[in-house]
Structure 1
Amino acid sequence: MPKIIGGSLHEHRERTRQQLFAALAELMAERGFDAITLAEIAAAAGVGRTAVYNHFADKESLLLGFIAHETAQYVATLEEALAGIDDPVEQLRTYVRQQTRLSRVFHLAPGPDLRTVLSRGTQHRLREHVVGVEGVLRRILVAGIDAGVLPPQDIDTTVPLVHACLSGRGVPDDGPARDQAAAATEAFVLRAVGAPVPALA
């Protein structure tokens, strides 16, 4: 019988999943999703290969679980950063700053774009995980339009355009270059949606 990690079966399952997610993230950052196997992920996580199937049917299922976990954590962090901010423009600035700080392993991983190596069904489910994050942006934009601080616009068009800008924009890891890139990205998005852009210090 496999050794139980933690004080209960539930805790064991959660810790095992966390180990698998950490191993997947590390290996993806090194080689890319297409270049690693489920056996390699299990070995890096210190989990028996057959035990992996108690949690995930295959490598793509593991990826979906990882992204769902990361997205949920990110949305919680984003909502915490927005708590107490009433001005929609300041909410939008906070949203953009949070997005530029986000490190998406599955976007930064070397190798082919994930969309070219995943099945159509998995691609569709990956898209579903973006909806939660987009919902926050949608709420901010609607509030800004209702308050009269943003011009009326097609939200269904604006939201994916803003996200395409944020996900496709490389930001340096740290230092003045990172701050400058983040400020420029923020100003660009504000102008794009018709929000007032604060004067740069």
Structure 2
Amino acid sequence: MPKLWNETIETHRASVREATLDAAGTLVAEHGLMSVTMSRIAQETGIGRATLYKYFPDVESILVAWHERQVAHHLEQLEAARDRVADPGRRLHAVLEAYALISYERHGHHGSDMAALLHKGPAITQAHERLLGLVRDLVGEGAASGALRSDVAPDELAAYCLHALGAAAGLPSKAALQRLVAVTLAGLSAEAGPVPEAPVELAEGPSHGRHGRRHHGSH
């Protein structure tokens, strides 16, 4: 009997949590992050505010939990895109296209303060490392097969891909998204040519005068 009672409690907790996060997601999608309040979530879910406060101390904790669930779901989508294709080059293309689409469909309702809140914490850090590792491994596979360049470390190329495709969030159309993916992949191609050596000034930093001051041109 106690076991059954505990299972019932856990089921109820999970139900309340999922309903709360679903409601938060709906509000964010329709009205932006700042629209999420305990009152609005209670109204959307039919769950009393007193009950909500038993599970979440404040709105920020709801938003963080919602965002972590979104990130986990996106990672699952990217891994599914990878696993649907066998060819290393095409697997990378599929993952980068899926990542760009996620960026493209991301809603631009995050204020700077709230965005800072949502993009920190150990869960998000771990998710980013997992994402970087996913792309890095695919880049490494492509380089080993000869399809992708091998003169730049896979870690660097993975970071390049993710930063470049993050720009998909501001694109006007999916056609533009496809072009961005194509340009990003072109930079990875084994046929792209070797990366030129950095100029001495860039490698060593800006030149300075005898007393450590940078030289400036005349104004």
Q: Give the structure-1-normalised TM-score.
A: 0.73
Unaligned runs of 5+ in 1: 1-6
- Percent identity of equivalent pairs: 22
Cα deviation digits, residues 131-165 of structure 1 (max 9, x gap): 32222112111212222322122333332332222
Q: 1:74 to 1:133 in 2, by over 3 A?
A: same
What SS is found at the alignment partner of 1:193?
Answer: coil
Of structures 1 and 2, the one with the larger relative CO (CA 8 A, separation 6+) is 1
**Paired residue type of 1:193:** L
Match of residue 123 from structure 1? 120
Does residue 32 of the first structure (1) align with residue 29 of the second (2)? no
Asked if 1:102 is matched to 2:102, the reply is: yes
* 2:16 paired with 1:21: no
- Within 5 Å, give how 1:1-201 maps onto structure 2: 8-102=8-102, 107-113=106-112, 118=117, 123-125=120-122, 126-152=124-150, 153-170=152-169, 171=171, 177-178=173-174, 180-194=175-189
Where has structure 1 moved over 4 Å in runs of 4 or more? 114-117
Task: Report how far residue 93 of structure 1 moved.
Answer: 0.9
The Cα shift of 1:91 comes to 0.7
Whether the aligned pair in 2 keeps the contact of 1:141 and 1:155 (CA below 8 Å) is yes
* Offset at residue 114 of structure 1 (A): 5.2
Does the 8 A contact of 1:21 with 1:66 survive in 2? yes
Contact 2:168–2:177, Cα closer than 8 Å, also in 1: no
Give the distance between the partners of 1:45 and 1:103, measured in 2 at CA: 28
| Pairs aligned (count) | 183
User: What CA distance in whole angstroms lies between the structure 2 residues aligned with 1:114 and 1:154?
Assistant: 34
Q: Does the 8 Å contact 1:43/1:49 carry over to 2? A: no
Counterpart AA for 1:138: R
The structure-2 alpha-carbon separation of the partners of 1:163 and 1:66, relative to structure 1 and needing over 3 Å to count, comes to: same
Contact 1:32 1:110 in 2 (8 A): yes
> RMSD value over aligned CA atoms?
3.0
Letter of the 1:60 counterpart: E
In the alignment, the residues of structure 2 paired with residue 195 and residue 64 of structure 1 have an alpha-carbon distance, to the nearest angstrom, of 41
Counterpart residue identity of residue 161, structure 1? Y
Call closer, same or farther: CA 1:136–1:111 in 2, change over 3 Å.
closer
The answer on whether the counterparts of 1:34 and 1:117 sit within 8 Å (CA) in structure 2 is no
Counterpart amino acid of 1:191?
A: A
Which one has the largest radius of gyration? 2
Q: Alpha carbons of 1:118 and 1:81: their partners in 2 closer, same or farther (altered >3 Å)?
A: closer
Please state whether the residue corresponding to 2:187 is helix, strand or coil: helix
CA gap of 1:196–1:77, structure 2 versus 1, over 3 A, is farther
| Long gaps (5+) in structure 2 | 1-6, 193-219
**Which residue does the alignment assign to 2:212?**
none
Q: Provide the C-alpha distance between the structure 2 equivalents of 1:154 and 1:95, rounded to a whole number of angstroms.
A: 19
